[in-house]
Chain A
Amino acid sequence: MEDTKIIDLYWLRSENAIAETQQKYGPYCYSIAEHILSCHEDSEECVSDTCLRAWNAMPPSRPGCLRVFLGRITRNLALDRYRERMTDKRGGGQVPLVLDELRDCAGREDSVLDSVEKKRMARAISAFLRTLPAEKRRIFLLRYWYLSPLADIARELGISESKVKSDLYRIRKKLRQELEREGFSV
């Protein structure tokens, strides 16, 4: 079913909206959650919660890209769940590795940004990503948006894992410079 029709079902408050969402985007959302949580049950719950959040958000929302809209909800839910887990000392998934890598870009300054500044930073990151060649942009987003394992990215793009690592290293370095140039304390 086309995305616009699924969104219409949400607006019509039809429960088929959830079934169609599960069918079309369940595996996609599951893979995002699984990369973060490395736990089948928790990931499945995240996907269910994603549908519930989507149900509560539409209306009034009418997302331009349903897939990313759902993926973003799943990602945030999974990160929240991961954070809860960490307080129970239960780690796993790609998050610790990704957080460690992101210390190249953030973590030196103990700054706290308000939501407006965070949005501004997200726009600066988007603008920076648009300056990169398509492949490098994909590598960055597959790693830090989708939290895909390095080996998966390498396989998906048909390049070596070491190239993924070296590209990420360089992109992080450039991104940090760009954010500092834009006046962010990272």
Chain B
Amino acid sequence: MKPYDFLYVIGDVADDLVSEAKEATMKEKSGRKPLRMILIGAAVVAILTVGALAARYYTRSADMLEEKWNNSLGAETSMTEEQKNFIDDRSADLGESVTDDGVTITVDSVTATADTVYLNLTYQVEEDVYEGTIMEICGSPSVTAESEVWGTQEHTSGGGGISRMENGVYVDQKTSLFRELPEGARLSDGTVTLTVAFTEVAIYYMDANGEHHEKVVEGSWRFLLPIQESKEVDNAEIREDISFTGPLDITLTEIQLTESGLTFDIKAPSNDYVVIGTDMLPLAKAAEPENTFYTVEALLEDGTRVPSDGANMSLNEETGMDQWRIRWVAPIDPSQVVSLIFSDGETEQEVQLN
């Protein structure tokens, strides 16, 4: 069949799928409305406490990360209560807002693991916007962690996350990874305050004539955010190297599994391999960027395969090797991980954890 004819066939897929694809909005759960919860809280909390039948109200962080998880893994492997509790224990609702030049940014909630901070943001523009408008924070937000115990550290990478429209309010999730914390330090040890500063917001929209526009608003949105203390969990170290025998001749070494992701160094016989993206451990030959890349998933005790949704790479100047950090779609408990599953799209290689 010719690709051209195939394109026409795709045109006949079910209406609801086509319609869904253009709907950037996902239904917000009622549990994500803290203001309403506060207003009715006095009466309801007493009843729920006495009755001990309360459905737990989660932080916005836990709800957002659950939604992200479910979107990524599909409805059949939705997030368990245990997993959601794990995230909730590391999260706090905030609701801090700053307005500049007609744009209001609100930090709804914060989740922190030992080395990674997840910010749930909403932002809103005062002027009228057209249907299909998208807003996003651009540039690199400045993120600094300050601890009474171990001093000040700036974040060394960031970005990524989801963005969507919700009745004129734009919800976003930003992740910042602190790569060089002092020995034994944790962001979630209860002593840390985070300073986050945004300086640029981009608004994309289409006018009534179908013309696309992009508007950049510069300003200063600065937040001082306390980080929730959470129980320390043990990282898992994989002592053996992992070698791949497929199209890419690489070996992973110094592998460590954490709440937020996976870190390792890569040994490769030459520098033929380049990173073609920042998602799911994609590696490929520079000349064949479409051909081969690997993904990695964490297999949990309950059989769930947790994918990654972001990665970054840097050069270790001492060893000359590429250092990778892969981020899971949401924080997980390393003790629940039984193996790591690597795949090149054709075959899988499973590495059991002790």
Contact = CB atoms under 8 A, between A and B. Distances in A.
Given A34-B210, A137-B20, A160-B277, A106 B1 contact: yes
A112 to B, nearest CB: 8
Interface in B1-51: 1-22, 24
Nearest to B68: A135
B282 A166 contact: yes
Contacts of A34: 210
B1 A125 contact: no
A130 interface: yes
A79 B9 CA distance: 12
A130 B18 CA distance: 11
A12 interface: no
A53 to B, nearest CB: 14
B181 interface: no
Contact of A162 (B4, B14, B74, B282): B282
Contact of B13 (A102, A106, A138, A145): A145
Contact of A142 (B21, B131, B209, B293): B21
Given A99-B3, A129-B13, A135-B71, A162 B134 contact: no
A145 B136 CA distance: 25
B215 to A, nearest CB: 14
B11 A76 contact: yes
B164 interface: yes
A166 B280 contact: yes
B247 interface: no
A1 interface: no
Interface in B268-327: 276-280, 282, 290, 293, 309
A16 B333 CA distance: 59
Interface residues of B, number: 55
A169 B280 CA distance: 13
A109 interface: yes
A51 B337 CA distance: 56
Contacts of A158: 136, 161-164, 172-173
A144 interface: yes
Contacts of B131: 27
Interface in A31-79: 31, 34, 43, 64-65, 67-69, 71-72, 75-76, 79
B278 A113 contact: no
A87 interface: no
Given A141-B18, A159-B279, A133 B73 contact: yes
A89 interface: no
A166 B13 contact: no
A107 B4 CA distance: 9
A103 B12 contact: no
Given A122-B10, A163-B277, A156 B134 contact: yes
B17 A126 contact: yes
B304 to A, nearest CB: 13
Given A137-B17, A156-B134, A166 B6 contact: no
A85 interface: no
Contacts of B2: 106-107, 110
A78 B95 CA distance: 46
Contacts of A28: 22
Given A65-B16, A72-B11, A186-B1, A133 B210 contact: no
Contacts of A79: 4, 7-8, 11
B206 interface: yes
A9 interface: no
Contacts of A165: 276-277, 290
Contacts of A107: 1-3, 6
B72 interface: yes
A150 to B, nearest CB: 11
B72 A133 contact: yes
Interface of B: 1-22, 24, 71-74, 130-132, 134, 136, 160-164, 172-173, 204, 206-210, 276-280, 282, 290, 293, 309, 345
29 contacts: A31-B206, A34-B210, A65-B19, A68-B15, A71-B18, A72-B11, A75-B11, A79-B4, A83-B4, A99-B3, A106-B5, A110-B2, A118-B12, A125-B13, A130-B17, A131-B74, A132-B74, A133-B74, A137-B20, A141-B17, A142-B21, A144-B10, A145-B10, A157-B163, A158-B172, A163-B277, A169-B290, A173-B345, A185-B1
Given A135-B71, A146-B21, 7 more contacts: A76-B8, A79-B11, A110-B2, A134-B71, A145-B13, A158-B161, A166-B276
